[in-house]
């Protein structure tokens, strides 16, 4: 540490927030770099306070550090001021715990969480003194792997990443390290060739159809402690994953489709993990994480038991996202035992027709009842998630968002209840690979702006609602990048070369630069984002097998056109292909508690 401080003192004393860069957080693993057989740095290409909260990162960090012979360190994307200082003093990025330069690690494992972080990855490689292009790396350079939602279409990042981890990372990361440990004296070419044979690993140098990995979440692989930031992070709480996958099959949702089948953790493990996590960290809040937390078979009993355990301690629960049809008065009451916060519900669309198009399997009555349950139980703040620009959307579907809120207000008044304060987070539809809507073109920016104004024209009628719109310009870039092919890599590279960095923060995006780079490379990203693909054409992500039958996805797309629902996989199997193709099955918590 003192050597590090000597070397980096000037940088740390001149940068804006040194606490981001010094490590030594409470509960850091701090394993010895020199004695570990294999050294990995998990790199999150976004700011420290975002990355340190990322649950996937915490799991992999925990798994590697639990191995007696391996060590995992962490790195996050520095702010621009810190990068400038690194450049000025000719220093490189380093592992936060070991303080060892990132290019001395055996592996750098990047989180591919969102498309707008792609150029940040390239800049971080440059500042780690690792060649940005994989073809330029030699035997001494670390192997660069990446996993997360964006790995399901590896094509745009193929020129920069050596190995993509497809699907659940728990087992595959240790398999990679085990194999590497045995063959690390071989050449880079030979090592990559060997590692590419592991199931769930896609190596662009040795391209082959790659099937995702599926892991049955167990107790051992779940962390019960994780490094705690010196200052605030986006989620300062103990996070326990209660369920992986979601069988609701909303047609726009990539996470639901790529994480099938549903696998529930058993109640006893959830309770014990939560108690241990809170005890170890001292957090006063725990989050029961899932794509749809109140879908867990025993959610009420679990919260009941945890409430009993934490009674009088001030520790309270948060459920990140909830189904309105599963929201009950009992659940609302259970969740307000210690402290009331905001209830978040995701109707996604305002009209019934649109909710049928997206396969939300949710009625207006269910949404209103869920809100009434909350308000009756004393919740004053509701957050709604909506999407506009969805496939087959008409103007009346957009206006129905305002109608839904008016209806909620009418029902509250009828019961003599106070109107809740409602915040609507309204995003723009982005067609995602491996979903039934992957073929559908996005609305143009002009069309989204028109729909936004249409909805805003109804704002005076819903004074208790705040409408927060996501940027259509950013959503357009996301749509272009997420469905991109190999050529998109040139676009990403050129952006990086011209200074694009931390573009996951809209204020950092230089839209003019994007336009100039697109012109130079003869790319029309607006056209690509709005393009509707033919269902018969080959797609860049066809090389990745999630288990879903393509014909099933096409059928779902056709059912959407007719606004027809598919029964959730929780209720009845719709033969999407995952279970038969990948020889797996859904798992529900059968624990009687």
Contact residues for ligand SF4 (CB under 6 A)? 247, 260-261, 569, 573-576, 578-579, 586
Closer of 246 and 526 to ligand SF4 (Cβ): 246
Cα angle 510, 512, 513 (rounded to 5 degrees) comes to 70
Closer residue to ligand SF4 (CB): 109 or 149: 149
Minimum CB separation of residue 574 from ligand SF4 in Å reads 5
Q: Whose structure tokens read 């809040």?
A: 285
Helix axes 488-497, 472-482, angle to 10 degrees: 130
- Smallest distance, ligand SF4 to C-beta of residue 253, A: 14
Q: Taking Cα atoms as reference points, which of 224, 248, 285, 259 lies closest to residue 58? A: 224
Q: Which run of H or E residues covers position 545? A: strand 544-545
Whole-angstrom CA distances from 207 to 121, 196, 481 are: 22, 8, 20
Give the nearest distance from C-beta 248 to ligand SF4 in angstroms. Answer: 10
Kindly state the smallest distance separating residue 256's Cβ from ligand SF4, in Å: 10
Both tokens of residue 288? 């029961």
Lookup: tokens for 554: 């096409």
User: Which of residues 105 and 152 has its CB atom nearest to ligand SF4 in the complex?
Assistant: 152
- Shortest distance, CB of residue 225 to ligand SF4, whole angstroms? 33
Q: Least distance from C-beta 361 to ligand SF4, angstroms?
A: 13
SS3 for 290? coil
Closer to ligand SF4 by Cβ: residue 130 or 250 = 250
For residue 582, the minimal CB distance to ligand SF4 (Å) is 9
Measured from the CB atom, the residue of 411 and 581 that comes closer to ligand SF4 is: 581
DSSP string, 245-277: --TT--TT-HHHHHTPSPEEPPHHHHHHHHHHH
Q: How far is the CB of 64 from ligand SF4 (least distance, A)?
A: 29
Q: Is the CB of residue 143 less than 8 Å from the CB of residue 103?
A: no
Alpha-carbon separation of residue 17 from 20, 83, 100, 198 (angstroms): 6, 13, 20, 41
Q: How far is the CB of 322 from ligand SF4 (least distance, A)?
A: 21
| Complex with ligand SF4: residue 58 or 296, whichever CB lies closer | 296
**SS3 annotation, 13-68:** HHCCCHHHCCCCCECCCCCCCCCCCEEEEEEECCCHHHHCCCHHHHHHHHHHHHCC
User: Which of residues 150 and 576 has its CB atom nearest to ligand SF4 in the complex?
Assistant: 576
Residue 427, SS3? strand
C-beta of residue 321 within 8 angstroms of C-beta of residue 346: yes
**Euclidean distance between CA atoms 238 and 301, whole angstroms:** 19
Residue 537 per-residue DSSP state: S
Residue number with CB closer to ligand SF4 (454 or 573): 573
Q: Name which of 254, 157, 230, 143 is nearest 193 in CA terms.
A: 143
Q: Which is nearer to ligand SF4, 169 or 247 (CB)?
A: 247
């Amino acid at each position: 540490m003192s050597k590090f401080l000597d070397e980096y003192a000037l940088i740390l004393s001149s940068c804006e927030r040194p606490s981001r860069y010094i490590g030594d957080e409470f509960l850091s693993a701090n394993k010895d770099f020199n004695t570990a057989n294999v050294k990995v740095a998990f790199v999150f290409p976004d700011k420290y306070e975002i990355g340190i909260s990322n649950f996937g990162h915490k799991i992999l960090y925990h798994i590697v550090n639990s191995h007696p012979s391996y060590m995992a360190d962490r790195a996050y994307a520095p702010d621009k001021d810190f990068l400038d200082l690194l450049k000025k003093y000719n220093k490189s990025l380093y592992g936060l715990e070991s303080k060892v330069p990132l290019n001395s690690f055996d592996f750098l494992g990047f989180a591919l969480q969102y498309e707008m972080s792609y150029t940040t990855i390239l800049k971080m490689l440059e500042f780690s003194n690792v060649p940005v292009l994989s073809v330029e790396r030699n035997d001494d350079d670390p192997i660069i792997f990446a996993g997360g939602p964006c790995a399901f279409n590896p094509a745009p990042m193929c020129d920069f990443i050596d190995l993509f981890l497809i699907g659940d990372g728990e087992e595959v990361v240790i398999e990679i390290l085990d194999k590497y440990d045995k063959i690390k004296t071989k050449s880079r070419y030979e090592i990559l060739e060997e590692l590419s044979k592991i199931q769930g690993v896609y190596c662009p140098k040795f391209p082959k159809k790659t099937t995702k990995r599926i892991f049955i979440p167990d107790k051992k692989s779940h962390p019960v402690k994780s490094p705690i930031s010196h200052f605030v992070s986006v989620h300062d709480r103990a996070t326990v994953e209660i369920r992986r996958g979601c069988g609701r099959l909303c047609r726009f949702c990539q996470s639901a489709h790529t994480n099938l089948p549903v696998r529930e953790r058993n109640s006893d493990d959830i309770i014990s993990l939560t108690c241990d996590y809170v005890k170890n960290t001292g957090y006063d809040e725990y989050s029961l994480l899932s794509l749809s937390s109140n879908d867990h078979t025993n959610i009420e009993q679990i919260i009941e038991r945890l409430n009993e355990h934490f009674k009088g301690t001030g520790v309270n629960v948060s459920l990140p996202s909830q189904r309105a049809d599963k929201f009950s008065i009992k659940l609302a009451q259970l969740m307000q035992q210690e402290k009331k916060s905001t209830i978040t519900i995701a109707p996604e669309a305002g009209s019934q027709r649109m909710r049928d198009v997206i396969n939300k399997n949710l009625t207006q009555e269910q949404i209103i009842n869920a809100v009434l349950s909350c308000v009756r139980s004393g919740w004053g703040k509701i957050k709604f998630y909506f999407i506009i620009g969805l496939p087959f959307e008409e103007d009346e579907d957009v206006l129905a968002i305002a109608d839904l809120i008016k209806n909620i207000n009418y029902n509250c008044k009828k019961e003599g209840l106070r109107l809740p304060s409602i915040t609507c987070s309204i995003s723009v539809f982005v067609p995602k690979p491996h979903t039934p809507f992957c073929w559908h073109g996005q609305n143009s920016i002009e069309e989204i702006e028109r729909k936004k104004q249409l909805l805003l024209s109804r704002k005076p009628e819903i004074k208790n609602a705040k409408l927060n719109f996501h940027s259509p310009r950013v959503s357009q870039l996301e749509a272009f990048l997420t469905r991109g092919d190999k050529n998109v890599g040139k676009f990403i590279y050129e952006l990086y070369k011209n200074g694009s960095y931390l573009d996951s923060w809209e204020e950092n995006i230089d839209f003019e630069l994007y336009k100039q780079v697109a012109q130079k490379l003869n790319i029309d990203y607006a056209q690509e984002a709005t393009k509707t693909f033919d269902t018969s054409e080959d797609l860049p992500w066809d090389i990745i097998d999630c288990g879903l039958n393509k014909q099933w996805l096409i059928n779902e797309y056709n059912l959407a056109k007719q606004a027809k629902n598919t029964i959730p996989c929780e209720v009845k199997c719709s033969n999407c292909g995952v279970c038969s193709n990948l020889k797996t099955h859904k798992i529900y918590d059968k624990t009687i508690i």
